Structure 1
Amino acid sequence: MKKETRTIVVDDKLNIEAYLLEGIVQPFPNHFHDFYVIGLMERGHRYLNCRHEEYSLMRSDMILFNPNDNHGCAPLNEDTLYYRGININSNVMLNLVEDITGDRKLPRFTKNVIVDDEAKSYYQPLHEMIMNGSQEFEREEYLYLLLSHLLQNYAQPFDTIVPTCNIEVEKACSYIEENYAKRISLDDLCEITNLSKSSLLRAFTKVKGVTPYRYLEAIRINESRKLLEKGLQPIDVAQQTGFSDQSHFTNYFNSFTGLTPGAYRDIFTSKGKKNDE
């Protein structure tokens, strides 16, 4: 039997806590928290009792607990639990909701268990980045996208009109293009556009079709290609284009191009050698 492991990481920038439970077999008695919980079943099969409702939890089910939601769970079919969780205290949630909706009021999720591929697509990378200690502002984007989606679909309604803000979006693009080699934060982009984080993300995605962080990564990858084509080493290119380390650079470059930076560089250095012959 695989050893049970419990890993907890606190993101000081986002002020939220992420944790990973692996190989868990123990049941959890009825209890409640004074914070919000957003969870994802990675593997396993569990019985959940929450607010007098019973659920059979399976892979890809997401869990939404409001503060003081009484709940307990136990394994089914002797399955071990693999579970990702994020805890958000009420003060942090209040600030996030105000930024997203303009209404400073704590939400109450109307469903405790959901199956939602879009929510999952925001949640998984957010959780992984926090667990890995990432300092990139992409994780902040995912947090806002996740909460905007959950609030819109599983809590009180809020204004879904997406502002255009073309001028502001172009200001953000120009700033990214001029400063891609530096560490850029979502706060920086909000300051120069005078938009809230939620408004910036929604407007930017509507106008450009990608989030600000994805736009930044695309700019960095395009610039890195030029440097690799000149024969620079991948480690030097990573430093000159703003990637936190070579591993981060390699992963992103491969996801954009299908090649490692070294393999891409070799294509052009090989061409140079043949032309010299």
Structure 2
Amino acid sequence: MQSTSRFRFMKSRHVARITALHATMNDFQYDRHAHEEYALGVTLAGRQDFFSNGEFHRSPPGSVITLHPDEVHDGHAGGGDALDYVMLYIHPDELDPLIANAMGVQGLQATRLAPTLMKDVPLRDEIIALSRMIEEQETSQIEQEYALYRIAAHLAERAGNFAPNERARRPDSLLERAKDFIHENARYDISLDDISHSANISKYHFLRTFRTQYGITPHQYVLNCRVNAARRHLENGESVMEAALCCGFSDLSHFNRRFKRIYGMTPRQYQAHIFT
């Protein structure tokens, strides 16, 4: 099969901390990783196969994918055809207040808003519409803000009717403490002893339970945190080398490989997309 993998990232010029991705892929596979943002996507053509929330999913055309912040997932084209999809990455600071307002509450308390994979035509259309607004960069601020509000309102309605699967694992407080330590110290050369000590659990218990809980090894999670932090530096206009060194990558080639496995392109290519 001829390679047709293409990735186009665009940041909204009107609403802070929203990025749209339009991707076509058949020969690329994302490593397991997590984002700091909500990821709301729609499969346009082909089939998207991915692991998330402890389960394997197959997303046919028209399906809506909802990934919550820090939710580990991977992804690749399934079924032999090229995959075409859009994804909105929306920071919780942008989306959570809108959802809370629509729900009539003061704040979201670790609420799971919707199933990972679902059929929802209105939400599908709203995600596609905002993605196109950002990609084409021809709409006004009020249009994009209203489109985001419509998505938030729909998710709020979904959250009121959604009962999470009882099999979904509740976060372990000690492991959450370990994750917080990783986030705060990922740029340093931290060890398993450092991380497990921060959570007051044995290294071996930590190793065993972390992957069971999150579907990713501690080492992979540290690298993931470094890549996410480096992406922020790139979006602030810092050089690839500065971003790598600030976030714990001493080897630029290693940074390039890790970044591409998550975003489908090199850091320099990503920066070129963002500032186009």
Root mean square deviation of aligned Cα: 2.1
What residue is the counterpart of 1:141 in the other structure?
146
What residue is the counterpart of 1:8 in the other structure?
9
Does the 8 Å contact 1:108/1:156 carry over to 2?
no
Question: Which of 27, 50, 53 is residue 52 of structure 2 equivalent to?
Answer: 50
Does the 8 Å contact 2:25/2:77 carry over to 1?
no
AA in 2 matched with 1:21: A
Unmatched 5+ residue regions in structure 2? 163-276
Identical positions, percent: 20
Structure 2 length-normalised TM: 0.52
Change (3 A) 1:4 1:91: same
For the residues of structure 1 that align with 2:15 and 2:83, how far apart are their CA atoms? 27
Matched ranges for 1:1-277 at <5 A: 1=2, 3-15=4-16, 16-106=18-108, 107-136=111-140, 137-153=142-158, 155-156=159-160
Structure 1 length-normalised TM: 0.52
Change (3 A) 1:56 1:98: closer
User: 1:25 is paired with a residue of what secondary structure?
Assistant: coil
- Taking CA–CA contacts closer than 8 Å with sequence separation of 6 or more, which of the two structures ends up with the larger relative contact order? 2
For the residues of structure 2 that align with 1:45 and 1:140, how far apart are their CA atoms? 30
Change (3 A) 1:30 1:2: closer
Larger radius of gyration: 1
User: 2:19 is paired with a residue of what secondary structure?
Assistant: strand
AA in 2 matched with 1:4: S
User: 1:55 is paired with a residue of what secondary structure?
Assistant: strand
For the residues of structure 1 that align with 2:29 and 2:127, how far apart are their CA atoms? 25
How far is 1:2 from its partner? 5.6
Change (3 A) 1:135 1:33: same
CA offsets, 1:41-79, max 9 Å, x none? 011113221111121111111100011212122322322
Does the 8 Å contact 1:24/1:82 carry over to 2?
no
For the residues of structure 2 that align with 1:123 and 1:46, how far apart are their CA atoms? 17
